[in-house]
A and B are shown apart, each in its own frame.
Chain A
Amino acid sequence: MPEQEKSTKLFIQSTLTFLVYFLVAKLSLGFAVINSLTSPVWPPTGIAFAAFVLFGPRIWPAIYFGSVLANITSGSPVLAAIIIGAGNTLEGAAGGYLMNRFAGGIHAFDRAKTVFYTIIAAIFAPMISATVGVTAISLTGLSPWAAYLHTWSTWWLGNVTGAIVITPLIILWFDHTRVHLRERWPELLVVVALFAFVVYVVFSGLLPFPYLLMAALLWVAFRFGPRDTATAVFLIGIIGVWATSRGYGPFYLRYTGKNEAFLFLQLFLAIVSIAKLTVAALVGEITTAQNTIEQREKRFRSLIEKSRDAVLLMDPMANILYASSSTKQILGYSPAEFEGMSGLSVIHPDDLDRTVLALSDVSAEDRKSKHIELRIRMKNGKFAWIGATLTNLLRDPNVGAIVLNYRDVTERKNLETAKDDFMMISAHQLRSPLSAMRWNMELLLMTAKDIPAKVKTKLRLIYDYNQKMIDLVNELLDISRIIQGKISSEPELTDISALIRKEIEIETPFAREQKVTLKSNIRGYSMPDVSVDPKRFLWVIQNLLSNAIKYTPSGGTVTVSVAVVGREVCVTITDTGIGIPVEEQQFVFTKFFRASNAVAVHAEGTGLGLYAAKEYIEHWGGTITMESPAARGKGTKFTISIPIKKRR
């Protein structure tokens, strides 16, 4: 807001405050009994508090001059008025400061705790005004020193009540001027009627028990909130002051001195106000909390229910405790049917062992999570593939179960299987005639002695082309694997040391055949999980391992090591084989590359294995490197590093 507008706003606020303060102060001084400047009824303190909270410290001149003028026009010497004015302004400033600092300013009456802090401010700030004021009037002779304590008490109690009754009134109306009572007007009518009745009964002297008023006020506090409570208290205050000054009501009847009667009324008002404001604040807090909880619950319920993925809560024995509504769409069971069932009873027998293993694995560690794909029997008896994540939240006080998030992946699985099947079948179908041709050719060339040389040459040519076709089919298979791997593979958290051990077992016979020693060096029983596609990772290792064995002359050694290095798992495959010529090393991971010395040993080979391996590994976030020292026959070392996804 530009400076000009700010000043205008302040000017308007100050003028308003000054006028209101002055008028109300004048009116209040009208009730002064023991001396002309000490009134037991003093709303202006409340006005001062509210002004400082709502408009800020720059409102002080309005309060000051309002007070000074009110006192002077009530017969005060100028000196006294100036000092009293200072006291009142300080009181207002202190009250406003305390309220802003400790009670949240304009939100002071929304919570029981801040109501309490406001009461503290209302009790202590008026002590400033009382002390300054009574000292000033005693000094200027308007009040005897002997009556200091009595005068001080009157001044103080009047200001305290003014703060407690008037401050919430102003602040709460300032903030919420709308009257929401349209729907509740019957109740309002009853309350007002009750209120009026009780007020009449109490103040007319029929049943002069002021505490009857508490009953009507309690209703307001419970049902109508802080603002209306403050209003009700204020109304009782006005009626009380009016009645007492006219000589009616229980306060007048009980006390002989008017000052005392007013003081007793003030005390009553203060206590009632404190009690009811607190109740109103508490009721408000509880309602807000309940609404928030309800809203949150609705929101989360909606999130879970509307999500296409389904959520299941189970105990460690796989008994289903809760099933979200998506269960119906995915598996055909209604949540009610599914809940209470044993999850194990609907798992496909071939996937049961694997699933139980995953479940017990996850149950062993708080917050552990594992991804798994398995088949579940749907309501119609057929099986659906689901891709699920199991998370152990047994120890979480809000959940207390194992959470299974899952979605239907049948289509994808079928597609994958279909693709795999297609490739398999195609490769097989293409190879059958090719292999038949090959062997027949070989037989022919081997056995037929009397073929003319020219014919033999041509036959050899045909044989070579046939070999080329066989190579092409192999390449096709490799390429399709790479493409499939990049598009459809879903990495899972995998312990690759287990996979590598398996692969070593598989290659052991081949190694033995080649008279190559196969050594393994795997640190620890299990490794932290990495995120890879286990089938394709196995393929990569197989590729590297069989290459290492193939290209190592008999008597050599191939060593496989797996270890954790920093944040990665590292696999090295080292051989004492023919190595890769230095000038060709830069091409090792390129498509269709075959080292010249490799071709000499093994004519066949597509040159796609290492290219594919690198593509896969980088797809999983890892790196693969090769070392082959310059000296011939010093062997080759491949190093694969994959970042750890989950430690054990």
Chain B
Amino acid sequence: MRTIVIIEDDTNAQEVYQQIFAQNGIRAFFASTGQLGIQLVQSEMPDLIVLDLVLAGAMNGMDVLKALKHYPALQAIPVLVVTNLQSEKNKAIEQGAVDVLVKASTSIDELVGHIKKHARTRKVN
């Protein structure tokens, strides 16, 4: 069972994500601010982080990407940026995002495909 942390402040999008992940057997945790998101990642150690660039609160998505770099334990977790802000694509990848998807231009199928592809496979102890 894969675990994902979604850092997204749009409640509508959160609902949609919930439905999608439920359908696809993915355990999802939600945070609507950057700070909460990082805390969540630290506690849950997910297989993938889905991150929007526009967030409520003091931190935006780029800040989260930068902050994640400070935690060596979290470096291995891939970050998939899913956002409607197209212009920051290059910067996000430079900051370590594994890919950038534009929400409006991505179908659900494509989204799930990307998630399945990028989520790390957990080593079985």
Contacts and interface: CB of A to CB of B under 8 A. Distances in A.
Contact of A473 (B99, B104, B117): B104
A355 interface: no
B23 A428 contact: no
B103 interface: yes
A428 to B, nearest CB: 5
Given A434-B104, A604-B105, A509 B99 contact: yes
B90 A509 contact: no
Contact of A470 (B93, B105, B117): B105
Contacts of A436: 10, 12-13, 16
B105 A443 contact: no
Contact of B117 (A420, A435, A513): A513
A447 B23 contact: yes
Interface stretch (B25-33, B36-44, B68-76, B79-87): B79-87
B10 A439 contact: no
B54 interface: yes
Contact of B20 (A420, A435, A443): A443
Given A428-B84, A443-B108, A435 B103 contact: yes
B98 interface: yes
Interface residues on chain A, size class: 20 to 34
B16 A443 contact: yes
A538 B104 contact: no
Nearest to B108: A442
Nearest to A481: B87
Interface string A412-445: 0000000010011001100110111011101100
Nearest to B23: A447
A119 interface: no
B125 interface: no
Nearest to B109: A442
B108 A446 contact: yes
B107 interface: yes
B45 interface: no
Contacts, number: 64
Contacts of B105: 470, 474, 604
B104 A440 contact: no
A139 interface: no
Given A439-B108, A440-B16, A432 B87 contact: no
A424 B87 contact: yes
Contact of A424 (B23, B85, B103): B85
Contact of A427 (B10, B86, B108): B86
A513 B98 CA distance: 11
B12 A506 contact: no
Given A428-B54, A439-B16, A509-B98, A420 B84 contact: no
Nearest to A503: B90
A562 to B, nearest CB: 19
A170 B85 CA distance: 89
B121 interface: no
B2 to A, nearest CB: 19
B102 interface: yes
A465 interface: no
Nearest to A477: B86
Nearest to A539: B90
Contacts of A587: none
B108 A432 contact: no
Interface string A445-477: 011000000000000000000000010011001
A432 B84 contact: yes
Given A432-B10, A443-B16, A509-B99, A470 B87 contact: no
Given A424-B85, A427-B86, A435-B84, A506 B102 contact: no
Interface in A485-544: 506, 509-510, 513, 538, 542
Nearest to A466: B104
A431 B84 contact: yes
A509 B98 CA distance: 8
Cβ-closest 3 pairs across A and B: A431-B84, A435-B103, A435-B104
Given A438-B104, A439-B16, A443-B16, 12 more contacts: A420-B87, A427-B87, A428-B54, A428-B84, A428-B85, A436-B10, A436-B12, A439-B108, A474-B105, A510-B99, A513-B99, A538-B90
24 contacts: A420-B87, A427-B84, A427-B85, A427-B86, A431-B84, A431-B103, A431-B104, A434-B104, A436-B10, A436-B12, A438-B104, A439-B103, A440-B12, A442-B107, A442-B108, A443-B16, A443-B19, A447-B19, A470-B104, A473-B104, A477-B86, A506-B93, A513-B117, A604-B105
